[in-house]
Amino acid sequence: MATENDTPRVPGRYAPAFRHTYIAAVHVLLFIFSFWVAYGLRYEFHIPPAWAPIADTEPILPTDVRIPETVWDNFYELLIFVLVVKVMVFGYFRLYAGWWQYVSIQDLVETFKASHISTAIILGGVYVLKALRAYGAVSVAVEVPDTVLIIDWAATIALVGGVRFLVRIIREGSRPVSPAGLTRVLIIGAGNAGEGVLRELYRLPVEKYHVVGFIDDNPRVLGIRIHGVPVLGGVGDLAEVARRQNAEEVIIALPQPTREQLRRVIEVCKGQRLTFRIVPGVADLIDGRADIGRLREVDINDVLGREPVTLDTENIGHFLAGKVVLVTGAGGSIGSEICRQLVAVHPKCLVLLEQAENNLFYIDRELRTAHPDLDVVPVIADVCDRQRIQDVFSRYKPDVVFHAAAHKHVPMMELNPGEAIKNNVFGSKNVTDMALKSGAEAFVLISTDKAVNPTSIMGCTKRVTEMYCQSLSGGKDGGRTKFVIVRFGNVLGSAGSVVPIFRDQIARGGPVTVTHPEMRRYFMTIPEATQLVIQAGAMGKGGEIMLLDMGTPVKIVDLARDMITLSGFRPDVDIKIEFLGVRPGEKLFEELRTGSEDILPTHHKKIFIWQNRGCTKEEIDAAIERLKTVADSAPLQQVRAILKSIVPEFDPGPEP
């Protein structure tokens, strides 16, 4: 039930105190009318004298008892008592504070309770008065039939509840039958959630939507009407219904829509010019707490995302709580999300290391605003600057390091191989060495599926870094630091990835560019990836390469078509899709090796361990020394040759 606090004060409206008084006065008038109707119906509006003679005798009463001359005298004397009781009881139930335009069944329930209690008090008062009069304690004769109070009870509910619903009916019934200029909407889901969405749409202060029908797969609701809006078919009929009704938007109002349900809706509607929206927090909407004005567009994350990650919070707490944690690349997509996730385990201090000043500024401000008690230290530094990295580790002495800083764009690194080596190999070596030297408890390297049988400079440099970290685990140089490597594939929406690129191309009207019709990639959401990275870091014993379960690979062209459809356009009609060809260093299909014999499961169903033969510290040190000779200006062929000598499975393909 809405209260005054639900709506801000607006100039020109009644002040709260006056509005409550006004509503209370209306209730008093309804109480008077209800009591008058009760008397009138009881006596069929033919009021006899209060004490009509029975046969030829007069009633024998005490001489000091005052007898009302008519029933109306009793009416007036009892009315005051009735009003006092009802005003107090209805006020106790806060029925003077509600907005009648938002009246609901709950308001009717509260009205029923208040009327029931009021009638019980009034009836009890009448019987007490009669008992007191019988003993001569009072001299007022109150004679009112019980049926009058029963009729008054029913009339009060009918009048108070009816007037409230009449206000809502007038407000919602004033909408035009065929509103022009409003967005024509279909609602998927004819259950409680869909009905709640429809009610909230009608309550919007500014009309935006005209609901033309419901869509629901339940055959029992087909053809019924909800608030006058028909159920027109199931999800399989959605495209045809949308064409027939000239629908422009689809609002998905399912309590907990699964990825499969959302994907089915998208597949059915391909070829239609429809915008898709979903209600945030439908459960809150049903409970009356959600704001329908926050309808959001269905995002590709909704369709491709997977079930929520279950974390071993106790293990993660032991790993990170009360520790100094350093995150490199803290302003990037993965690094910044790691920082957001780390806040939940209450580290002692969170050191944000980032080369890009703007990115660092934004994540630092976000964390300080959301968590003012958190000790956040922003550090501008380049991981390739060994002296600067040494100074940072000497000053803050981190217990745990998450190394997310890296060059990641495959085609860009093919054009700038020396920079990939400097940043991904030597920069990572600087951070790794300083973590070891400062005695950090754990070092977590964020790696990639592109390091598996690499075909690109970027993937190969990440594999070299993996080999270096593995060489430090368990050896004489490993110290007390455990080194854990975590591999995963693409993340949805990361900076420079395919999703924001497609989104920008669609916004410009196309075309959407895809490299190859059979190009496939694994995808997971950024929060899921970072949560599993933290979990893997807590689980690792040192030296392992942890693989994340990436699910089923997705065709990039299918991803493009889904995004075009979600944007309200028709693939290959409104927005064209063009194929550019595979770029240097790219594979058609990335590997994660989660199905190989050398993959071991862990106690977490989404994390695996790759068993492989590592190399010695001496071997990888010698290999990295060779890389120094080609990091600046060596030709691509020479760079590839040295990388292949270090990573035999590296297959770069023909030189461009």
> b vs e for 184-220, b when ≥16 Cβ sit within 10 Å of the residue's Cβ?
bbbbbbbbebbbbbbbbbbeeeeebbbbbbbbbbeee
Measured CA to CA, the distance from residue 646 to residue 652 in angstroms comes to 13
Nearest Cα neighbor of 653 from 457, 415, 422 is 457
Across 169-177, average pLDDT: 57
pLDDT in tens, 66-80: 444 456 667 777 888
- pLDDT tens per residue, range 274-329: 888 887 654 444 444 445 555 666 767 767 766 656 667 778 888 898 999 999 99
Which of 68-77, 550-559, 603-612, 615-624 shows the highest mean pLDDT? 615-624
Mean per-residue pLDDT, 252-257: 79
Give, to the nearest 10 degrees, the angle between helix 146-173 and helix 105-134: 160
The shares of helix, strand and coil residues in the chain, as percent rounded to the nearest 5, are 50, 15, 35
CA distance 108 to 125: 25
* Cβ-based burial of 444 (10 A; exposed 0-12, middle 13-18, buried ≥19): buried
CA 391 to chain CA mean position, Å: 41
Place of tokens 């619903």: 165
Please provide the average confidence, as pLDDT, over all residues in the chain: 80
CATH no., domain 183-298: 3.40.50.720
pTM over 0.75: no
- Of the candidates 279, 284, 287, which has an alpha carbon nearest to the alpha carbon of residue 249? 279
**469, 443 contact by CB (below 8 A):** yes
CATH topology for 318-490+533-551+589-646 is Rossmann fold (3.40.50)
Q: What pLDDT sits at residue 554? A: 83
51 or 236: which leads in pLDDT: 236
Q: Work out the number of other CB atoms within 10 angstroms of the CB of residue 60.
A: 5
Q: What is the pLDDT of residue 605?
A: 78
- Tell me which residue of 210, 221, 223, 222 sits closest to 249, measured CA to CA: 210
The 8-class DSSP code of residue 356 comes to -
Q: Which of 462, 396, 394, 458 is nearest to 429 (CA)?
A: 462
| Interhelix angle 457-472/636-646, nearest 10 degrees | 30
Kindly state the tokens that stand for 586: 């790219």
**Residue-level pLDDT at 440:** 93
In this structure, are residues 281 and 290 in contact, taking their beta carbons and an 8 Å threshold?
yes
Instruction: List the helix and strand counts (H, then E) for the chain.
Output: 22, 22
Instruction: Show the tokens assigned to 536.
Output: 């893997």
Q: Residue ranges of the domains in the chain?
A: 4-173, 183-298, 318-490+533-551+589-646
Whether the domain at 183-298 and the domain at 318-490+533-551+589-646 fall into the same CATH topology: yes
Q: Is 95 left (phi over 0), alpha (psi -120 to 50) or beta?
A: alpha
Distances from the Cα of 629 to the Cαs of 389, 413, 424, 633, 634, in angstroms?
23, 18, 16, 9, 8
> What is the DSSP code (8-state) at residue 539?
H
The pLDDT of 510-525, averaged and rounded, is: 86
pLDDT at 50 over 50: no
Reported as half-sphere exposure (CB side, CA atoms, 13 A), residue 636 has a value of 15
Backbone CA torsion sign across 168, 170, 174, 177:
positive
Distance CA 469, CA 451 (A): 14
Q: What is the CA radius of gyration of the chain?
A: 37
Query: Is residue 334 a contact partner of residue 556, using CB atoms and an 8 Å limit?
Result: no
**Exposed, middle or buried, 319 (CB in 10 Å: 0-12/13-18/19+)?**
buried
